[in-house]
């Protein structure tokens, strides 16, 4: 199972063309996006349509640029696009857990509530965690000599041990790869990364 993942495109047209071209190749089964594909909502439909036209599943959580009640309804306009915000989805043998939005909050009470439910239901399974904001105290959340990620995300990763955690938000850490325990962490950035799950 191989997929393309990216984040923080901010409606960049050249970046979109390159991502769609790579996603269209036969080895890519689906696409996963960690948010901020628009600029405060502008260009959202353009990006969603470009990926939906590929007729491959496009899974996305909102970034802080897509926060708001309208995100879900816009995504639903496109047949092959699916919001994973605050949702769990089985993709092959893996459970994808999605939680979007946020910026620099180090604690998230709503996430903790959802995380307790997820832990009770999915503990011990193969998991991919998809968030917009990175977890705390890694290479992915280092900004100006301090860490600005989410502590609740980190705690959840340590507890449930996903195989992979994808996040974005910080442009300064694009392309960074790190680990928390047994979990691989990536910020795929706007150029994207191809990931194979076995």
Task: Please report, for the domain that includes residue 176, its CATH number.
Answer: 3.60.21.10
Under 8 Å between Cβ of 56 and 28: yes
Point out which residues pair with 183 in neighbouring strands. Answer: 180
Structure confidence by residue, pLDDT tens digits, 143-186: 888 999 999 999 999 999 999 999 999 999 999 999 999 999 99
pLDDT over threshold 80, residue 197: yes
> Based on the structure, what is the number of domains in the chain?
1
Among 108, 190, 95, CA closest to 155: 108
Q: What is the pLDDT of residue 68?
A: 77
Query: What whole-number distance in Å separates Cα of residue 79 and Cα of residue 35?
Result: 19
Structure confidence by residue, pLDDT tens digits, 67-113: 877 999 999 999 999 999 999 999 999 999 999 998 788 999 999 99
Among 106, 102, 58, 105, CA closest to 79: 58
Q: What is the pLDDT of residue 119?
A: 97
Structure confidence by residue, pLDDT tens digits, 120-144: 999 999 999 999 999 999 999 998 8
Give the domain range for residue 65. 2-196
N-terminal to C-terminal alpha carbon distance within the chain: 7
> For residue 106, what are its two tokens?
């180090």
Structure confidence by residue, pLDDT tens digits, 1-41: 999 999 999 999 999 999 999 999 999 999 999 999 999 88
Q: What is the pLDDT of residue 155?
A: 98
Give the strand pairing for 183-186 and 177-180: antiparallel
Q: What is the pLDDT of residue 40?
A: 87
Q: How far is CA 101 from the centre of its chain?
A: 10
Q: What is the pTM of this model?
A: 0.97
H or E segment and range at residue 31: strand 30-33
């Amino acid at each position: 199972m191989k997929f393309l993942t990216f984040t923080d495109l901010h409606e960049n047209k050249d970046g979109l063309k390159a991502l769609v071209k790579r996603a269209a190749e036969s080895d890519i089964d689906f696409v996963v996006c960690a948010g901020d594909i628009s600029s405060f909502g502008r260009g959202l439909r353009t990006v969603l349509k470009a990926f939906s036209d590929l007729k491959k599943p496009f899974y996305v959580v909102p970034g802080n640029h897509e926060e708001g009640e309208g995100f879900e309804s816009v995504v639903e306009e496109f047949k092959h696009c699916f919001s994973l915000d605050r949702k769990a989805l089985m993709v092959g043998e893996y459970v994808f857990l999605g939680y979007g939005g946020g910026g620099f909050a180090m604690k998230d009470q709503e996430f903790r509530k959802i995380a307790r439910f997820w832990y009770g239901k999915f503990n011990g399974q193969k998991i991919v965690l998809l968030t917009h904001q990175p977890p705390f105290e890694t290479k992915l959340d280092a900004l100006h000599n301090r860490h600005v990620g989410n502590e609740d995300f980190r705690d959840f990763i340590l507890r449930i041990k996903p195989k992979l955690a994808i996040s974005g938000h910080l442009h300064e850490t694009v392309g960074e790869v790190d680990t928390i325990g047994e979990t691989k962490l990536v910020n795929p950035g706007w150029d994207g990364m191809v990931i194979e799950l076995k």
